[in-house]
Amino acid sequence: MRYTVDKSDAGQRLDQFVTRRIKKASRAQVREAIDEGQVTINDQAMKPSYKLRLGDVVEYPEIDARQEEQLPQQFDLDILYQDEHLAAINKPPGMVTHPAKGHWDGTLTAALIAKFSQLSDIGGASRPGIVHRLDRDTSGVLVIAKHNEAHEALSQQFADRTTEKEYLAIVANCPDRDRDVINEPIGPHPRFRERMSIVRDDPEAKEAKTFYEVAERFDGYAAFKVFPKTGRTHQIRVHLAHIKHPVLCDRAYGNQARITLGEIARTDDEEIVLARTALHARRLKINHPVTGEPLEFEAPIPEDIHSTLVVLRKYRSV
């Protein structure tokens, strides 16, 4: 949908304007669409709080509100820890955390509703229990809140950056240093709506800081331990691509969607070794939202990433 702002609409917040025009969509759905770059002003992604100006051209999708109320779906969940306040889940790759355009079924939230009798509702009906998220192809530790008090306490820890997060990433190219810090602001990509990018001197950009160290070196590849200090959308993927070490099989920020045995072994073998982003949320340390007790969760390395490391050790060892 496309609309040119007139005098009656000038000065309104972007999220309020779009919510009024798509009457069947919730404000949470609209904010999600804006955050994902699906709503643009003059072909640029903006914040939900952006104030409309006379003559602005607003483009927004026909948001499907049918699945605002999630229906339970039975899936096997790998529960790393749970009590009456929270749960830690090992999210599998390929599972969307919460419903979004084109992904209404098979979400983690649908599985959570089927599994737990109570979940927080601060995030709205489409995000029960969801305190933070992982990208669809990223596997690993995800913390779930079972009630609103726990949700608020956990959210505050993420906002205050007191949580400790460790990821495992397999990246292209072997680095010339053992460790480093990437401190570059991240904001909406100027051309591709569903991507983020390094954007300096832009009011839409947010501070982003990532520390990494090399866990293993290969000929043309490396395994990184990654410790994000902030939690920006696609942060690890954007930062590592920026330093010329894109995460392997990253469709958005790398140059391939899959890698074959032949590419690694330098043969004609077309057997697929990996077909999703080689990123795994391996460890998360928090304080219990009620007792304050330190808690640490670790998700084992999934089979596809483990197999990729085995192949790299066999054919690309240094």
Q: For residue range 179-230, what is the model confidence (pLDDT) as tens digits?
A: 999 999 998 887 776 789 998 877 778 899 999 999 999 999 999 999 999 9
Whether 168 and 152 share a structural domain: no
Find the helix packing angle between 14-21 and 27-35, rounded to 10°: 120
Tokens of 202: 């832009």
- Let me know: does 274 contact 304? Beta carbons within 8 Å: yes
Whether residue 68 lies inside any domain: the answer is no
CB burial of residue 136 (10 Å; 0-12, 13-18, 19+): middle
Task: Write the CB contacts of 146 (distance below 8 Å, at least 6 apart in sequence).
Answer: 84, 85, 86, 87, 116, 118, 119, 120, 129
Q: What is the mean pLDDT of the chain?
A: 89
Tokens of 218: 């290969």
Whether residue 72 lies inside any domain: the answer is no
Whether residue 11 lies inside any domain: the answer is yes
Whether 38 and 88 share a structural domain: no
- % residues pLDDT > 90 (the chain): 62
Whether 101 and 177 share a structural domain: no
Whether 310 and 168 share a structural domain: yes
Whether residue 67 lies inside any domain: the answer is no
Rounded Cα–Cα distance for residues 29 and 9 (Å): 21
Whether 184 and 300 share a structural domain: yes
Whether residue 107 lies inside any domain: the answer is yes
CA distances from 278 to 135, 138, 269, 306 (A): 12, 7, 21, 10
Domain range holding 25?
2-59
CA neighbours within 13 Å on the CB side: how many for 220? 8
Whether 210 and 275 share a structural domain: yes
Whether residue 183 lies inside any domain: the answer is yes
Whether residue 74 lies inside any domain: the answer is no
Residue 64 has pLDDT above 80, yes or no: no
Which residue in 204, 202, 203, 222 sits closest to 212, CA to CA? 222
The total domain count for the chain is 3
Radius of gyration of the CA atoms of the chain, in A: 21
Rounded Cα–Cα distance for residues 98 and 121 (Å): 13
Whether 169 and 132 share a structural domain: no
> Average pLDDT of 174-179?
95
Whether 184 and 250 share a structural domain: yes
The one catalytic residue in 135, 201, 202, 250 is 135
Place of tokens 């979004």: 100
129, 160, 191: which is the final residue of a domain?
Answer: 160
Task: Write the CB contacts of 264 (distance below 8 Å, at least 6 apart in sequence).
Answer: 273, 311, 312, 315, 316
Tokens of 275: 């077909």
Which residue in 149, 77, 64, 56 sits closest to 103, CA to CA? 64
92, 127, 160: which is the final residue of a domain?
Answer: 160
122, 145, 160: which is the final residue of a domain?
Answer: 160
CA distances from 153 to 101, 126, 285 (A): 29, 20, 14
Whether 182 and 312 share a structural domain: yes
What pLDDT does 98 receive? Answer: 67
User: Any idea what the CATH number is for the domain that residue 235 is in?
Assistant: 3.30.2350.10
Question: Which DSSP symbol is given to 100?
Answer: B
Known catalytic residue: 135? yes
- Let me know: does 169 contact 224? Beta carbons within 8 Å: yes
- % residues pLDDT > 70 (the chain): 92
Whether residue 280 lies inside any domain: the answer is yes
Whether 181 and 144 share a structural domain: no
Lowest mean pLDDT among 49-58, 147-156, 289-298: 49-58
Whether 287 and 232 share a structural domain: yes
User: Any idea what the CATH number is for the domain that residue 22 is in?
Assistant: 3.10.290.10
Question: Which DSSP symbol is given to 240?
Answer: H
Whether 10 and 47 share a structural domain: yes
Rounded Cα–Cα distance for residues 179 and 165 (Å): 16
Per the model's pLDDT, the better-predicted residue between 44 and 99 turns out to be 44
Pairing of strands 139-145, 279-287: parallel
